[in-house]
C-alpha cells in the first residue's frame, strides 16, 4: 500500500510537469484546462467524497458483520445508488458548466472562459467515475483487498502523461486561438479516459473477488437518513474546504494568465512533503489515539499528539525553509521544460517560496484534527475548518485589494499560512480544555529550537545560493547545482545546530525512520 501510494503520487506529479510542458506554463490555455479539470473533483467532494471514509466505509463494515449475506446486497444497493445519484449530478453539472466555470474565473477573458466550459463538459463525467471507483474501492477494502484501489490512480496518471506526451510530439497548440478540434479532443477525451481507466481497474478487481456487479433499482434499506445524519458535519468541513479552494482559484485568475496554473502547481509542490512525511505520521497515529480514547486515557492522547506535532515540525521545518529560500530553483528544476515561459517559471518560484511559510502550521493543524476524530467528534473540527476558511477567504480578498495584479497569486499562500495558524491555535486551545493539557511547554520549547536550527540552516542555504548565482548563471543546470549545493549545506547545518541545541526530537525522528526501514 505504501509503495503504491508513493508511486501514484509521484506519477501524479509527473503528470503536472508533462501537462505544463505540453500546454505551456504561463499561458491562458493551461489555465482553462486546469480550471475545467478542477470542477469534477470539487463537485464530487461536495456530493459524496468527504463522507466516503468517515460514513460509507463504517456502514459497509457494519453490514458485512450483521447481514446474512455478508453485506453483499447492501454493497450492491450502495453502488447502484452511486451510479444513479452521481449520474444525475453529472448531467446537472454538464448543464450548469458555464455557471460553475464563472465561479472560479472572474479574471478570465471570454475566450478563456468559453474554452474552460467546453473542457468541463468533457470532464464532468469524471464525477460518476470517481464515485464508482471510490465505492468499489471501499467494498474491496471491507473484503480485505487493498492493492487495486491504491494502484488505480497510477493508471490514471500514466494515461494522462501519455496524452500530454502525444500532444507535445504532434505539436499541439499553446494558445487558444491556434487550438484545433483534434487538439481539443485529444486533451478532453484522453484526460477523462484516465479517470475511466482508474474506475475500471477497481471494478475489475472487485469482480475478481466474486462480488456480483448487479444493479438494484430499489435503494431502500441502505439507510439514507443514517448516512445523512453521520455525514452532516463532514459535509460542513468539505464545503468549507471547497469554498477556500474556490476563493483562492478566483484570486489566482485575477492575477492574469498563468496565475491559476502557478497556484495549482505550487500547491502540488506544497502537498508533496506533507503527504510523504505527515500523512505517514497521522496514519500510524490514529489507531493508537482511538484506542486511548476508548479507554478514556487522555494523558496518552496528549502524549501522542504532542509527539506527532513535534516530530512533524522537526522533519518539515527544514523543507519549508528550502521552499522559502530555493523556491525559484525548485520551480525551474521541476517545470522549466517544453513550452513553459521563463516569466511563468519565475512566478511559480515565488508562489512555491510563499507556500513554505504555510507548511508547518498546516501540518500541525491537520495532526491535531486527528485528536478530535479519535474522540469521535466531527462537529468541532468542522467548526474550526469553517473559521479557517473565513480567515483564508479574507486573506485572498486582502491580496486582491492590496497587491499588484501580477502578485496576487503570491499572496494566496500567505492567506493559507494565516488561516492555518489560526486553526492550529484554535484546535490546540479546544483540545487543551477537552483533555486537560496539551503539553504546551514542550511544544513551545521544541518549536523554538526548531526555529533556531531552521533559521541558521536557511540563512546558510540562502548565502550559498547567492554566492553561486554570479558563478553559474541561470537555467536548468544552474538550478540543479544551486539546489543540490545549498540543500546539502542547509541540511548539514540543520543537523549540526539541532545537536548543538539538544533538539532531542531529531534523534527520535532518525530512530523512528530507521526502525521503519528495517521493518
Average pLDDT, whole number, for the chain? Answer: 88
Buried b (16+ CB within 10 A) or exposed e, 384-416: bbbebbebbbebbeebbeebeeebbbbbbbbbb
pLDDT top residue among 518 and 364: 364
Query: Contact, 288 vs 317, CB < 8 A?
Result: no
pLDDT at 437: 83
DSSP string over 176-224: STT--HHHHHHHHHHHHHHHHHHHHHHHHHHHHTT------S--TTS-H
User: What is the model's pLDDT at position 419?
Assistant: 97
Roughly what angle, to the nearest 10 degrees, separates helices 2-23 and 147-169? 20
pLDDT of residue 147: 84
Task: Say if residue 121's pLDDT is above 70.
Answer: yes
pLDDT band for position 511 (cuts 50, 70, 90): low
Q: Which residue has the higher pLDDT, 13 or 59?
A: 13
pLDDT at 1: 67
Per-residue model confidence as pLDDT tens digits over 229-249: 666 777 788 889 999 999 999
How many Å separate Cα 382 from the centre of its chain? Answer: 18
pLDDT at 440: 86
Instruction: Provide the percentage of residues in the chain whose pLDDT is more than 70.
Output: 90
CA atoms within 13 A of residue 248's CA, in its CB half-sphere: 28
Dump pLDDT digits (tens) for 464-498. Answer: 999 999 888 888 899 999 999 999 999 999 999 99
According to the model, what pLDDT value does residue 288 have? 66
Q: Of the candidates 446, 250, 486, 291, which has an alpha carbon nearest to the alpha carbon of residue 364?
A: 446
Cα dihedral 168, 24, 241, 350 in deg (nearest 10):
140
Distance CA 368, CA 434 (A): 12
Q: What is the pLDDT of residue 451?
A: 95
The contacts of residue 281 (CB under 8 Å, 6+ apart) are 308, 311, 312, 367
Can you tell me the mean pLDDT for 203-229?
A: 77
pLDDT band at 284 (very low <50, low <70, confident <90, very high): low
Least trusted range by pLDDT, from 37-41, 110-114, 139-143, 283-287: 283-287
Is pLDDT of 355 > 80? yes
Which of residues 393 and 211 earns the better pLDDT score? 393
Is the predicted pLDDT of residue 412 greater than 80, yes or no? yes
- pLDDT at residue number 459: 96
458 pLDDT higher than 60: yes
What is the predicted pLDDT for the residue at 262? 95
pLDDT class of 434 with cuts at 50, 70, 90: confident
Residue bearing the bigger pLDDT, 234 or 367: 367
Residue 131: which of 73, 47, 64, 233 has the closest Cα? 47
- Sorted by sequence, the CB contacts under 8 Å of residue 319 that are 6+ apart come out as 273, 277, 356, 359
Is the pLDDT at 519 greater than 60? The verdict is no
Say yes or no to pLDDT of 89 above 90.
Answer: yes
Residue 54's pLDDT is: 58
Rounded mean pLDDT, 144-161: 90
Q: Which has the closest alpha carbon to 144: 1, 25, 310, 349? A: 1
**Which percentage of the chain shows pLDDT scores above 90?**
59
Amino acid at each position: 500500500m505504501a509503495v503504491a501510494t508513493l508511486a501514484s503520487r509521484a506519477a501524479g506529479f509527473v503528470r503536472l510537469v508533462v501537462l505544463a510542458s505540453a500546454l505551456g506554463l504561463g499561458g491562458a490555455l493551461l489555465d482553462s484546462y486546469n480550471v475545467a479539470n478542477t470542477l469534477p473533483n470539487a463537485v464530487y467532494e461536495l456530493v459524496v467524497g468527504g463522507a466516503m471514509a468517515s460514513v460509507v466505509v463504517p456502514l459497509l463494515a457494519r453490514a458485512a458483520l450483521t447481514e446474512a449475506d455478508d453485506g453483499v446486497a447492501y454493497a450492491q444497493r450502495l453502488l447502484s445508488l452511486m451510479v444513479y445519484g452521481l449520474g444525475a449530478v453529472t448531467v446537472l453539472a454538464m448543464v450548469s458548466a458555464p455557471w460553475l466555470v464563472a465561479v472560479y474565473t472572474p479574471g478570465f477573458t471570454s475566450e478563456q472562459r468559453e474554452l474552460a466550459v467546453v473542457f468541463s463538459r468533457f470532464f464532468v463525467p469524471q464525477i460518476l467515475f470517481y464515485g464508482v471507483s471510490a465505492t468499489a474501492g471501499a467494498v474491496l477494502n471491507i473484503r480485505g483487498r487493498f492493492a487495486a484501489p491504491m494502484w488505480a490512480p497510477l493508471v490514471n496518471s500514466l494515461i494522462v502523461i501519455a496524452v500530454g506526451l502525444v500532444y507535445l510530439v504532434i505539436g499541439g497548440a499553446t494558445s487558444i486561438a491556434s487550438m484545433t478540434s483534434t487538439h481539443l479532443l485529444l486533451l478532453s477525451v484522453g484526460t477523462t479516459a484516465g479517470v475511466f481507466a482508474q474506475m475500471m481497474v477497481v471494478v475489475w478487481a472487485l469482480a475478481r473477488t466474486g462480488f456480483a456487479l448487479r444493479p438494484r433499482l430499489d435503494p431502500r434499506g441502505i439507510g439514507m437518513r443514517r448516512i445523512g445524519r453521520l455525514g452532516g458535519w463532514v459535509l460542513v468541513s468539505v464545503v468549507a474546504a471547497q469554498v477556500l479552494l474556490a476563493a483562492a482559484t478566483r484570486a489566482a485568475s485575477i492575477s492574469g494568465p498563468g496565475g491559476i496554473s502557478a497556484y495549482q502547481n505550487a500547491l502540488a509542490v506544497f502537498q508533496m512533503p506533507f503527504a510523504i512525511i505527515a500523512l505517514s505520521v497521522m496514519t500510524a497515529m490514529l489507531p493508537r489515539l482511538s484506542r486511548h480514547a476508548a479507554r478514556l486515557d487522555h494523558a496518552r492522547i496528549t502524549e501522542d499528539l504532542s509527539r506527532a506535532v513535534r516530530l512533524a515540525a522537526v522533519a518539515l521545518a527544514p523543507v519549508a525553509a528550502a521552499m522559502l529560500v530555493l523556491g525559484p530553483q525548485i520551480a525551474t528544476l521541476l517545470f522549466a521544460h517544453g513550452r513553459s515561459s521563463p516569466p511563468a517559471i519565475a512566478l511559480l518560484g515565488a508562489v512555491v517560496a510563499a507556500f513554505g511559510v504555510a507548511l508547518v502550521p498546516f501540518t500541525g493543524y491537520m495532526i491535531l484534527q486527528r485528536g478530535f476524530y479519535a474522540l469521535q467528534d466531527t462537529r468541532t473540527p468542522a467548526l474550526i475548518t469553517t473559521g479557517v476558511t473565513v480567515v483564508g477567504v479574507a486573506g485572498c480578498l486582502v491580496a486582491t485589494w492590496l497587491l499588484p495584479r501580477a502578485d496576487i497569486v503570491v499572496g494566496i499562500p500567505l492567506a493559507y499560512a494565516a488561516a492555518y495558524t489560526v486553526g492550529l491555535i484554535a484546535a490546540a486551545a479546544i483540545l487543551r480544555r477537552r483533555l486537560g493539557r496539551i503539553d504546551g511547554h514542550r511544544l513551545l520549547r521544541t518549536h523554538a529550537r526548531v526555529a533556531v536550527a531552521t533559521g541558521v540552516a536557511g540563512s546558510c542555504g540562502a548565502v550559498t545560493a547567492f554566492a553561486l548565482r554570479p558563478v553559474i548563471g541561470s537555467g536548468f543546470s544552474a538550478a540543479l547545482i544551486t539546489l543540490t549545493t545549498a540543500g546539502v549545506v542547509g541540511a548539514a547545518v540543520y543537523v549540526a545546530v539541532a545537536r548543538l541545541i539538544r533538539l532531542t526530537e531529531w534523534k527520535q525522528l532518525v530512530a523512528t525512520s530507521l526502525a521503519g526501514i528495517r521493518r
